[in-house]
Amino acid sequence: MLRKSGTQRRQPALWRRCRSLRQIKQVHTLLVLRGFLSDPSALRELLFASAVAVRGAIAHAYHVFEQIPHPDLFMYNTLIRGAAHTSAPRDAVSLYARMARLSSCGGVRPDKITFPFVLRACTAMGAGGTGAQVHGHVVKAGLESDAFIKNALIGMHASCGELGVADALFDCRAREDAVAWSAMISGCARRGDIGAARDLFDECPVKDLVSWNVMITAYAKRGEMAPARELFDRAPERDVVCWNAMISGYVRCGSHKHAMDLFEQMQRTGKKPDVITMLSLLSACADSGDLDVGRRLHSSLSEKFSGTGFTVVLGNALIHMYAKCGSMKSALEVFWVMRDKDVSTWNSIIGGLALHGHALESVDVFKKMLKEKVRPDEITFVAVLIACSHGGMVDKGREYFNLMQQQYRIEPNVKHYGCMVDMLGRAGLLKEAFEFIDTMKVEPNSVIWRTLLGACRVHGEIELAEHANRQLLKARSDDSGDYVLLSNIYASAGEWLESEKMRKLMDDSGVNKEAGRTVVDGSTKDSVQSFRGSKSHP
């Protein structure tokens, strides 16, 4: 990738060759070894690759940036741009503030490239006050008339609720710019005023692709798929953003068949899906349990990423899909071939193994995680405690519960406590489970008491069951299952009078027992049906 002969030389467009964080780190290492850290152009390319070109590498961009003694304007703009497009846009504003402070002491000054990205970050944060301060800096710099900055200001003010300011900026000249219309429409849609956004959209004389996408996405995010589809079908052109908005909207609404049908239509038109498309479809497969379609998507992704490996996000989605569909063998195959893994990757595989009865394998993967110095989080410990509970590994469960608090300083929440109660209850250690509840730092919820009540039924502990039921009815007295469960405990012990009393108490309390519900998966396509309270069904 890099070479050196006589004077230091490198192949052009270095960032174009990087497809993953691993490759970026390799390039960084070569730059250090060959002295390219003194070459500003090489640093710019490395920073661009980390902050912009490769998804999920922004943390490395910060690492590179902090090693540069005197970053230039391009470097600041690149990192601000990258940060503005992440889930932590506040970092972009912090970088801008740092840049502004240094500019007052003779450092680099923000330019017309800087401000649109900073304003984007303010919009994403909903920080109208900060945006107004940046607006003041724009005026001071004499850049308010710049079209790109002006459109960013319109979108920011409209999104943050300052419609008066947005309208003032949306003057006659701006109304000739399709991008300015899109900014106004987007701002109203972001604020949740879809009516105002639609009025502007209908009024817009020349609608660009962004305007169509904004409205379609706004409707889809609200679950209003009928108007979203109406606009989608009317749109004069569709890019991948438009298709993704509709597909992800159908997935969120549980209309998985519509999502898949639209994906097939997308392929027929020759439009290539991107990572967002595939993530939505994998989510649909996970929710619907459609393993066959999930495998086809996996095959398509394998062809696309042949030689480079899946990104962490895609790998995690595949693992989640296979785990939800019950194919832990396939989930493990994806897990072991992934070059880069984050804590969510480990959590998905540990949790999937635990929930599908592979308790020992789940604990083994957790041990490997610790050995590889990956720091577990609270979700990791929920997963491994579930494994210990399902596998009857009480001593291990106690060990990991203590490890979580003592070594990793993670305070247990109600889920961790619930796992411990479930583990002790399954093992028949009911008295210890009750004592454990007394030591909890959070109030036990109905799930914990119901878990104990179920364990009492399994182990025939009527006295403890009565205590658990009293606590459960205090927490939630409108669930018929709680009454029925104790009634069944009495019945299994031959206490028929007490069993009948519980049934009568349920009736007197006005609690209705819901009818049973059945889901049938037929042999024909799309024949999954559910029905309740019926003795026959076609």
CA distance 316 to 119: 32
Top pLDDT among 212 and 22 is at 212
Average pLDDT over residues 306-325: 86
Task: Extract the tokens encoding 460.
Answer: 């025939």
Q: Is 435 exposed, middle or buried (0-12, 13-18, 19+ CB in 10 A)?
A: exposed
| pTM summary value | 0.71
Top pLDDT among 4 and 256 is at 256
Is 481 inside a domain boundary? yes
**Residue at token pair 């070569």:** 30
Q: Is 70 exceeded by the pLDDT of residue 477?
A: no
- Summarised one tens digit per residue, pLDDT across range 269-291 is 999 999 999 999 999 999 988 99
Q: What is the CATH number of the domain that holds 487?
A: 1.25.40
- Summarised one tens digit per residue, pLDDT across range 403-447 is 999 999 999 999 999 999 999 999 999 999 989 998 999 988 888
Q: Which domain holds residue 471?
A: 445-512
Instruction: Collect all residues with Cβ–Cβ distance below 8 Å to 418 and sequence separation of at least 6.
Output: 445, 447, 448, 451
Average pLDDT over residues 356-371: 96
Is 379 inside a domain boundary? no
Residue 39: pLDDT band (50, 70, 90) is confident
Is 456 inside a domain boundary? yes
Is 454 inside a domain boundary? yes
Q: Is 50 exceeded by the pLDDT of residue 11?
A: no
- Looking at the structure of the chain, the number of domains it has is 1
Nearest to 213 by CA among 180, 191, 236, 192: 236
Contact call for residues 35 and 8 (beta carbons, < 8 A): yes
Contact call for residues 156 and 187 (beta carbons, < 8 A): yes
Q: Out of 103-117, 385-399, 505-519, pick the least confident.
A: 505-519
Q: What is the mean pLDDT of the chain?
A: 84
* DSSP secondary structure letter of residue 16: G
Is 186 inside a domain boundary? no
Is 176 inside a domain boundary? no
3-state secondary structure of 144: coil
Q: Is 50 exceeded by the pLDDT of residue 490?
A: yes
Distance of CA 329 to the CA centre of its chain: 24
